[in-house]
Structure 1
Amino acid sequence: MLFVSAARKSAGLLLTAGAIFAAALPALAADVTFVMRNEHPNAVEVELYSQDRDHVWPGNNQVYYLDDGETKQIPLSCNEGESICYGAWVSGDRGTYWGTGPDNAESCSDCCYVCSGGETEEINLVE
């Protein structure tokens, strides 16, 4: 009977150790491509913002730049299941914006996507 108790105790420790190890694993990486089209007559700047962590693409005080009429595919490496929203604005006019706007400062109802592979539909930035 002593052997059975020790075996159960060992199994319980293994399950606890496994749960701790699983919790310490990093989030699974995934990729998503944002397809952005600038249909505004002026150039547009775009940033993509994680809603689940403090991360911005492209980051380092840079932006994705789209000339008028340009379509750009923006591939991202992100965490599986992460919510990512776009913010776009007319270059030189941060008051004219789409999505969450500059600095992820505005709320939006349809500008976020889940990182789960593949690509977004074409996002049209229209005047």
Structure 2
Amino acid sequence: MIRLALLALLLATPAHAAEMAFFVKNLRQQAVAVELFSRDRETVWPGGDSVFLIQPGSQKSMPISCNPGENICYGAWVNGNDQVSAGVGPDNDLSCDNCCFICVEKTTETIDLVE
């Protein structure tokens, strides 16, 4: 009976989430909106109807909680004009060569958004 209770407790305990950060430098002349997309589950950061907004010449740290080993891609676009985009774009539907990262506990990935 005790074994069954312990097994049920272990199965009910969620997997440990990793805390990592993305450090984004906006080197463009326009403000940019950024979202982070999981390629392994239907999760978007910051989530809801929100975006990370970064002013021209500014930088921002975007801490997230993710699953270790999860594949995370960034999508960025000029604020107010999502036709000018980088990474996987605002709809997470563009291909890219270097816009995805693996979730690793206590790491920071740097992204430079250029013209």
Question: TM-score under structure 1 normalisation?
Answer: 0.78
Partner of 2:61: 73
Partner of 1:5: none
Q: Which amino acid aligns with 2:35?
A: E
Question: TM-score under structure 2 normalisation?
Answer: 0.86
Q: How far apart in 1 are the matches of 2:10 and 2:71?
A: 22
Q: How far apart in 1 are the matches of 2:81 and 2:15?
A: 37
Given that 1:27 and 1:80 are in contact with CA atoms closer than 8 Å, whether structure 2 keeps it comes out as no
Partner of 1:116: 104
Partner of 1:36: 24
Partner of 2:70: 82
| 1:102 aligned counterpart, secondary structure | coil
Q: Once the 2 structures are TM-superposed, how far is the Cα of residue 28 of structure 1 from its aligned partner?
A: 2.5
Partner of 1:4: none
Given that 1:88 and 1:102 are in contact with CA atoms closer than 8 Å, whether structure 2 keeps it comes out as yes
Q: Which amino acid aligns with 1:81?
A: G
Q: Which amino acid aligns with 1:84?
A: I
Partner of 2:34: 46
- Report the number of matched residues: 109
Q: Once the 2 structures are TM-superposed, how far is the Cα of residue 72 of structure 1 from its aligned partner?
A: 0.4
Q: Once the 2 structures are TM-superposed, how far is the Cα of residue 26 of structure 1 from its aligned partner?
A: 3.4
Give per-residue Cα distances to partners, 1:88-127, cap 9 Å, x unaligned.
000011011110000211111110111112101x211000
Q: Give structure 1 regions of 4+ aligned residues with deviation exceeding 2 angstroms.
A: 20-28
Partner of 1:10: none
Partner of 1:60: 48
In the alignment, structure 1 segments of 5+ residues that lack a partner are 1-13
| 1:45 aligned counterpart, secondary structure | strand
Structure with the higher helix share, 1 or 2: 1
Percent same amino acid at aligned positions? 46
Partner of 1:102: 90
Quote the RMSD (CA, aligned, Å). 1.8
Rg larger in 1 or in 2?
1
Q: How far apart in 2 are the matches of 1:97 and 1:70?
A: 17
